[in-house]
Structure 1
Amino acid sequence: MNYSSEVERDYDVRGWYASVQESRHDGGQPGETLVKVATGVVIRN
Structure 2
Amino acid sequence: MLWTIAVILVILWLLGFVSSYTMGGFIHILLVIAIVVVLVRVIQGR
> Do both proteins adopt the same fold according to a TM-score greater than 0.5, normalized to the shorter chain?
no
Higher helix share: 2
Bigger relative CO (Cα 8 Å, ≥ 6 apart): 2
Q: If the length of structure 1 is used for normalisation, what is the TM-score?
A: 0.24
Q: If the length of structure 2 is used for normalisation, what is the TM-score?
A: 0.24
Higher strand share: 1
Structure (1 or 2) with the larger CA radius of gyration: 1
